[in-house]
Amino acid sequence: MKFQAIKGVRDILPPESALWNRVEQAARSVFHTYGYGEIRLPIFEPTELFARSVGLDTDIVSKEMYTFEDRSFLAPEEIRDFTSFAEFVVRAERAFKAGEIPQTSNNASALGEMVRYRDELAEAFRGADPTRGGKDLGTFTNQLVQPYRLLGPVFALQMGPSLSLRPEATASVVRAYIEHGMQTRPGNVKLYYIGPMFRRERPQKGRYRQFCQIGAELLGPSDHPALDAEVIEMLLAFFARMNLNGAKLYINSIGDKNCRPAYVKLLRGELQKVRDKLGADSQRRIETNPLRVLDSKLPEEQAIIDTLPHIADHLCAACREHYAELKRQLALRKIEYEENWRLVRGLDYYMRTTFEITAPGLGSQNAVCGGGRYDGLVELLGGPAATKGIGFAIGTDRLLLSLQEAGAATKCGLEVYIAWMGVRAYPAAVALARKLREHNLSVELPAQQMKFGKSLNLADRLGARFAVILGDDELAAGEFTVKRLADADQRKLAEAELLEYLTKSRTA
């Protein structure tokens, strides 16, 4: 059998992984200058965390999460005979009491059935005479066991909490913020994260089932638009550091709980008037989440959507002022943007500021970053109501695609290849390799001797910048021959000069 990575997930191989590292390193260094510290979060969380924060009606929660029941410690697969069944019932009862398995009425009644059946079986086994029927008191027999009575409640039991691989990390950051009482820290809490997220989406270019995000979140008592603008400034500083050209920033305000409900009602009313002209998805969303109709990419819906009321005309005074100030703050920072009234974002926790950045070379999946303000989320998850939040997440896979389309180098970074020949040359080659590596140079030392021609050819194919040639002549002269492979420039140097020459011409 030949194994392959499953659909929608990928291996990142060298030399491409070097570019990933460069991107992540640049993010760390730029975010550091804005006072952000790294938070390392778990990959899975209670399903409920995402259901509450991202929202039950969103695509992410309703169809894209990888959800499983964490059941291993009860081990129902160990049920083979009466004794192991009885032990399972004891384990399950204990776990239920301790809250290790969900204390739901479903679980209580499944447990009740199991206990009843265990007691009946115990009774039946007691009455069975091993000298006549040869019934083994320890092992289930056909006469004694009714599989549906045994397996029914075992399968009905929810044996552990429902967990999900994280589809995004804002919910986890907020969970951690509350769990660790981070509101007591001075000033704003500024956190960034780098890591994989999981969504069961239809894979295509730039859309994967496991993808990486670089995200940042700012939590604190203030919702001043200067914070929104600074978060965006940091994001653009990072893109500039990566030389990402052609990125475009789109912004919008989607109001708050005071003004959005009235707008949603108005929108729903307008959409109902044109229901017949809309596709099935949008028709459903009229009821569940009319704002998401604005996200539609269906060509036949575009003309209709153009006629719908804009949220900007329905913001309350506070949201209008917040949005106007955001634009002033962006102008102050000389940040160019375009307003997009249809930018509502696909997660429920947003309010007021939303933004997205697109990058060239990505086809239809061209959003390389999305973010926004989520002032009610900390409270929704049980934290202090006064805490506000704003943040973003960059899709690293898409950023890499865009950088590569623009010709970003993914060179292997091998600096020196040591071509040695002769048994006497090998110890010198080993010592030289170690010395060069101590100076942080990337060195390839072939384990077996090769003819110089073959060795240099391999050096070339590996993409090495230099080949150091070490044979009997060099040993005799106490020198090394070094060849720059790009232009075949060749010189003979003593060890100290060689070190200086190589470290000076090191790649960045």
The amino acid present at 61, given as its one-letter code, is V
Rounded to a whole number of angstroms, the minimum distance from the CB of residue 411 to ligand HAM is: 25
Whichever of 235 and 432 has its CB closer to ligand HAM, that residue is 235
Total number of residues that touch ligand HAM (CB under 6 A):
23
Work out whether 217 is an interface residue with ligand HAM (CB under 6 A): yes
State how far the Cα of 311 lies from the Cα of 299, in Å rounded to an integer: 22
Query: Which three-class secondary structure state does DSSP give residue 357?
Result: strand
Rounded to a whole number of angstroms, the minimum distance from the CB of residue 108 to ligand HAM is: 37
State how far the Cα of 360 lies from the Cα of 403, in Å rounded to an integer: 9
Sole binder of ligand HAM in the list 256, 301, 397, 415 (CB under 6 A):
397
Of 117-125, 205-213, 326-334, 500-508, the window that binds ligand HAM (rule: CB under 6 A) is 205-213
Rounded to a whole number of angstroms, the minimum distance from the CB of residue 245 to ligand HAM is: 17
Work out whether 215 is an interface residue with ligand HAM (CB under 6 A): yes
Pairing of strands 210-220, 248-253: unpaired
What is the spatial order of strands in the sheet that 248-253 belongs to?
Answer: 37-38, 189-198, 210-220, 388-395, 367-373, 351-358, 248-253, 338-339
Sole binder of ligand HAM in the list 20, 85, 117, 211 (CB under 6 A):
211
The first and second tokens of residue 18, run together, are: 């070097």
Sole binder of ligand HAM in the list 31, 36, 177, 392 (CB under 6 A):
392
Q: Are 377 and 170 in contact (CB under 8 A)?
A: yes
Of 156-164, 178-186, 333-341, 391-399, the window that binds ligand HAM (rule: CB under 6 A) is 391-399
Rounded to a whole number of angstroms, the minimum distance from the CB of residue 405 to ligand HAM is: 15
Match 């969970």 to its residue by tokens: 175
State how far the Cα of 314 lies from the Cα of 306, in Å rounded to an integer: 16
Whichever of 290 and 391 has its CB closer to ligand HAM, that residue is 391
Taking the alpha carbons at both ends of the chain, their separation in whole angstroms is: 43
Sole binder of ligand HAM in the list 371, 415, 468, 474 (CB under 6 A):
371
Work out whether 55 is an interface residue with ligand HAM (CB under 6 A): no
Whichever of 191 and 330 has its CB closer to ligand HAM, that residue is 191
State how far the Cα of 429 lies from the Cα of 471, in Å rounded to an integer: 9
Sole binder of ligand HAM in the list 163, 291, 351, 393 (CB under 6 A):
393
Work out whether 23 is an interface residue with ligand HAM (CB under 6 A): no
Match 């009862």 to its residue by tokens: 93
Rounded to a whole number of angstroms, the minimum distance from the CB of residue 328 to ligand HAM is: 22
Backbone angles phi, psi at 321, to 5 degrees: -65, -40
Q: Are 278 and 304 in contact (CB under 8 A)?
A: yes
Burial class (CB in 10 A: 0-12, 13-18, 19+), 85: buried
Sole binder of ligand HAM in the list 52, 190, 207, 292 (CB under 6 A):
207
Backbone angles phi, psi at 70, to 5 degrees: -85, 100
Rounded to a whole number of angstroms, the minimum distance from the CB of residue 43 to ligand HAM is: 15
Of 130-138, 301-309, 393-401, 494-502, the window that binds ligand HAM (rule: CB under 6 A) is 393-401
**For residue 482, what is the enclosing H or E element?**
strand 480-484
Whichever of 206 and 383 has its CB closer to ligand HAM, that residue is 206
Work out whether 375 is an interface residue with ligand HAM (CB under 6 A): no
Find, among 456, 448, 458, the residue nearest to 422 by Cα. Answer: 448
Rounded to a whole number of angstroms, the minimum distance from the CB of residue 380 to ligand HAM is: 14
Whichever of 125 and 192 has its CB closer to ligand HAM, that residue is 192
Whichever of 205 and 451 has its CB closer to ligand HAM, that residue is 205
Work out whether 213 is an interface residue with ligand HAM (CB under 6 A): yes
Whichever of 377 and 425 has its CB closer to ligand HAM, that residue is 377
Whichever of 114 and 359 has its CB closer to ligand HAM, that residue is 359
Site for ligand HAM in 175-204 (CB under 6 A): 199, 201
Whichever of 107 and 353 has its CB closer to ligand HAM, that residue is 353
Site for ligand HAM in 295-334 (CB under 6 A): none
Distances (CA, A) of 213 to 177, 245, 250, 279, 451: 19, 20, 19, 32, 47
Pairing of strands 44-46, 162-165: antiparallel
Sole binder of ligand HAM in the list 168, 228, 230, 415 (CB under 6 A):
168
Residue whose beta carbon is closest to ligand HAM: 395
Can you give the length of the chain in residues? 508
Q: Are 314 and 266 in contact (CB under 8 A)?
A: yes
Rounded to a whole number of angstroms, the minimum distance from the CB of residue 345 to ligand HAM is: 6
Burial class (CB in 10 A: 0-12, 13-18, 19+), 281: middle
Sole binder of ligand HAM in the list 145, 234, 293, 368 (CB under 6 A):
368
Rounded to a whole number of angstroms, the minimum distance from the CB of residue 244 to ligand HAM is: 13
Q: Is the dihedral of CA 471, 477, 479, 482 positive or negative?
A: negative
Q: Are 161 and 98 in contact (CB under 8 A)?
A: no
Find, among 306, 199, 326, 307, the residue nearest to 252 by Cα. Answer: 326
Work out whether 238 is an interface residue with ligand HAM (CB under 6 A): no
**For residue 398, what is the enclosing H or E element?**
helix 396-405
**Chain residues that interact with ligand HAM, rule: CB under 6 A:** 168, 170, 199, 201, 206-208, 211, 213, 215, 217, 367-372, 391-393, 395, 397-398
